[in-house]
Amino acid sequence: MKQKEILLNSLVNGKRIALSDMTAEEIGDNHISTSIETPMRKDAFLLSDAEKMTKIESHFREIMETLGLDLRDDSLKGTPERVAKMYVKEIFSGLDPANKPKVALFENRYQYDQMLVEKDITFYSNCEHHFVPIFGKAHLAYISNGKVIGLSKLNRIVQYFAKRPQVQERFTMQIARELQDVLKTEDVAVIIDAKHLCVSSRGVQDNNAATITSFYGGKFLEESTRQEFLRYVEMKTSY
Ligand SMILES: [Zn+2]
């Protein structure tokens, strides 16, 4: 089965059914996504960032007031504006393709044709089902086909896709596909090791659970290459 198809359907009472036929209650706390693309409307960018912030500010004020909070309080009165700015300019800024990192490719002058691993990239994202944080580490690898990118770009690609409402499976696939696109190779691997606050701070309140997702493309589908990558990820660094 192709990786993509795993995300499109879900097993409910042993029967595989399309997500589109499921109600929100049936989906419940199952963190399943509908496709590798973040679901966006066609009119997503008709409003400017400033217009979005004005709207979100007023809606968030309404949420707080509905909860019974007194927004005349000095500590609370700036919160709707702060949340609106944080949503648009920071934690959901990766929804806007204009914020996608520009990646320059360099010639691989050293003829380095082995695996390059960038591990322990810290990221902060948010679960699209509960809008609470998902955070953890990303470990990436690729084998150059003649081109290389700056190491900081690997980090920036992770941060860009993290700054969206996410599900971890999609996050993993979006990073992998972007790496394959920019590096012009199938030979990429991605592991995401994350903690979901919707699991630890609410719901089942499991404080120890970690969620691991992975993607292996091209040569990483071979056992020996995959094992080499995993050894580097597990390697303890001494600095
Ligand atoms: Zn969640």
- Cα–Cα distance measured from residue 26 to residue 12, given in angstroms and rounded to the nearest whole number: 8
Which range marks the domain in which residue 201 is found?
105-234
Q: Is 4 among the domain residues?
A: no
Q: Check 130, 166, 169, 178 and give the catalytic one.
A: 130
Active site annotation includes 139: no
Q: Check 139, 166, 178, 198 and give the catalytic one.
A: 198
Q: 154: CA distance to ligand 1 center in Å?
A: 26
Please count the CA atoms within 13 angstroms of the CA of 229 that sit on its side-chain side.
28
- Joined together, the tokens standing for residue 216 give 């292996």
Q: 25: CA distance to ligand 1 center in Å?
A: 14
pLDDT value of position 6: 37
Please tell me whether residues 62 and 141 are part of one structural domain.
Answer: no
Burial of 93 per CB tally in 10 Å (0-12, 13-18, 19+): middle
Q: Check 31, 57, 127, 166 and give the catalytic one.
A: 127
- Joined together, the tokens standing for residue 219 give 């040569």
Active site annotation includes 59: no
Geometric angle at alpha carbon 118, from 223 and 175, rounded to 5°: 80
pLDDT value of position 27: 58
Q: Is 42 among the domain residues?
A: no
Please tell me whether residues 82 and 112 are part of one structural domain.
Answer: no
- Cα–Cα distance measured from residue 56 to residue 33, given in angstroms and rounded to the nearest whole number: 25
Complete DSSP assignment for 61-90:
HHHHHHTT--TTSTTTTTHHHHHHHIIIII
- Joined together, the tokens standing for residue 195 give 């903690």
- Cα–Cα distance measured from residue 88 to residue 93, given in angstroms and rounded to the nearest whole number: 6
pLDDT value of position 34: 67
Q: SS3 for 22?
A: coil
Q: By C-alpha distance, which of 159, 165, 215 is closest to 190? A: 215
Active site annotation includes 31: no
Please tell me whether residues 81 and 161 are part of one structural domain.
Answer: no
Active site annotation includes 186: no
Query: Of 60, 95, 130, which closes a domain?
Result: 95
pTM: 0.85
pLDDT value of position 5: 36
Q: Is 21 among the domain residues?
A: no
Please tell me whether residues 211 and 148 are part of one structural domain.
Answer: yes
Q: Is 15 among the domain residues?
A: no
| Beta carbons of 200 and 130 less than 8 angstroms apart | no
Q: Check 31, 57, 139, 168 and give the catalytic one.
A: 168
Phi, psi of 121 (to 5 degrees): -80, 115
**How many helices and strands in the chain, by DSSP H and E?**
8, 9
Q: 198: CA distance to ligand 1 center in Å?
A: 5
Active site annotation includes 227: no
pLDDT value of position 158: 98
Q: What is the pLDDT along the chain (239 residues), one digit of tens a residue?
A: 333 333 344 444 445 445 555 556 655 666 556 689 999 999 999 999 999 999 999 999 999 999 999 999 999 999 999 999 999 999 999 999 999 999 888 888 777 889 999 999 999 999 999 999 999 999 999 999 988 898 899 999 999 999 999 999 999 999 999 999 999 999 999 999 999 999 888 888 888 889 999 999 999 999 999 999 999 999 988 78
Q: SS3 for 177?
A: helix
Q: Check 129, 139, 169, 178 and give the catalytic one.
A: 129
Q: 96: CA distance to ligand 1 center in Å?
A: 22
We report the CATH number of the domain holding residue 184 as 3.30.1130.10
- Cα–Cα distance measured from residue 58 to residue 236, given in angstroms and rounded to the nearest whole number: 48
| Beta carbons of 166 and 228 less than 8 angstroms apart | no
